[in-house]
Structure 1
Amino acid sequence: MPTTDPARTADELATLVARLTRRLRAATPAAELTPSQQSVLARLGTGPATTAALARGELVRPQSMRATLTALEERGLVVRSPHPTDGRQVVFSLTPRGTELLGSGRRARRGWLTEAIETRLSTAEHRALADVLPLLHRLVEPGTEPGARTPGTSDRQNHPVSEGSPAP
């Protein structure tokens, strides 16, 4: 029987999410990238961004973000260009190689998870898992009111990317 203790539920959920994240990461061709590098590629998949915007989105210091971006740039996955309105800044975007790696990683993760759902869960269990998704969205989206989000709505539709608001 599931626990009703929020602290225990939080511990179990955090552990499970970490294990799922590691498993999904292992399923991708981008597995040789660090988690930070993979996350930055995903953010840049929604559009170009400055170092400062990426650092805010990843909750890291700009110096740490610069190191991550340098590593991605050295691998030919991102490219820098002048900021269109602020000559003091640069904007990073994905190269075609970075876009392909990002897409292949998403396909691999989706493929692994789809197969796991199809082979390890019954139809009723799959339905129960799908029913939990709106609750998980509410946990990670501050300010989301109960019932305000319809299942299947993508984050990009609800969170447009801007300089001050990088993609989730």
Structure 2
Amino acid sequence: MDDDLDPGAVAAVLLRSISVLLRRVRQVPTPGELTMPERTALSRLERSGPTTSSALAREVQITAQAMGATINALQGRGLIERSPDPADGRRMVLTVTDAGRQALQDKRDARNELIAGALTSGTFTPEELRQLTAAAPLLERLAQHI
């Protein structure tokens, strides 16, 4: 195997470059900025659907108390709502509101615009843009196997 195809070396290069990209993209400001815990909870709730605060805390691996503070902040801003669990009225189920979905979409749109601007700035050749396009599904497949 070629030295430049050593899995350990490839992993190190990928982690370094993806980490820089993610750090830069996460810094994109949007109106009504969500904190990282708020964005994490809201995104996870959007993907997984209605759930309880304790189940969401377990899923994102934080304490129930920390999740409670995050949920209260999100609910106070109208980004999530609580309703009684139809199966067990003692429990409350969390759902993302339309405003919560819009807040997440605004953040995604800002990130996409930032990356699209960098891709069209003349820094990349058409061939490099094709390479980046070809690499995207590979990166997604890599993520699914971790």
Q: Deviations over 1:113-152 (max 9, x none)?
A: 1222222322111111111122212222139xxxxxxxxx
TM-score, scaled to structure 2: 0.78
- Indicate whether 1:142 and 2:145 are aligned: yes
Q: Which runs of 5+ in 2 are unaligned?
A: none
Letter in 1 for 2:136: L
Q: Is the 8 A contact 1:28 1:109 kept in 2?
A: no
1:78 corresponds to which of 73, 77, 80: 80
Which structure: larger Rg? 2
Question: In 2, Cα distance between the equivalents of 1:77 and 1:69?
Answer: 9
Q: Which runs of 5+ in 1 are unaligned?
A: 144-168
* 132-141 or 2-11, larger mean C-alpha shift: 2-11
How do 1:113-124 and structure 2 match up within 5 A?
A: 113-119=115-121, 120-124=123-127
Question: In 1, Cα distance between the equivalents of 2:105 and 2:125?
Answer: 29
Question: In 1, Cα distance between the equivalents of 2:16 and 2:57?
Answer: 25
Q: 1:34 Cα deviation (Å)?
A: 2.3
Equivalent pairs, count: 143
Letter in 2 for 1:136: L
**Local SS of the residue matching 1:45:** helix
The aligned residue for residue 69 of structure 2 is 67
**Local SS of the residue matching 1:3:** helix
Question: In 2, Cα distance between the equivalents of 1:36 and 1:95?
Answer: 17
Question: In 2, Cα distance between the equivalents of 1:30 and 1:83?
Answer: 32
Question: In 2, Cα distance between the equivalents of 1:51 and 1:44?
Answer: 10
Q: 1:31 Cα deviation (Å)?
A: 7.7
Q: 1:63 Cα deviation (Å)?
A: 3.4
The aligned residue for residue 108 of structure 1 is 110
Q: Is the 8 A contact 1:28 1:104 kept in 2?
A: no
Higher RCO (CA-CA < 8 Å; seq separation 6+) = 1
Letter in 1 for 2:4: T
The aligned residue for residue 155 of structure 1 is none
Q: 1:30 Cα deviation (Å)?
A: 5.8
Question: In 2, Cα distance between the equivalents of 1:30 and 1:55?
Answer: 26
The aligned residue for residue 15 of structure 2 is 14
Question: In 2, Cα distance between the equivalents of 1:88 and 1:140?
Answer: 38
Q: Go from structure 1 to structure 2 and tell me whether the alpha carbon gap of 1:5 and 1:123 turns closer, same or farther (over 3 Å shift).
A: same
1:92 corresponds to which of 91, 94, 110: 94
Question: In 1, Cα distance between the equivalents of 2:4 and 2:90?
Answer: 53
Question: In 2, Cα distance between the equivalents of 1:19 and 1:49?
Answer: 33
TM-score, scaled to structure 1: 0.70
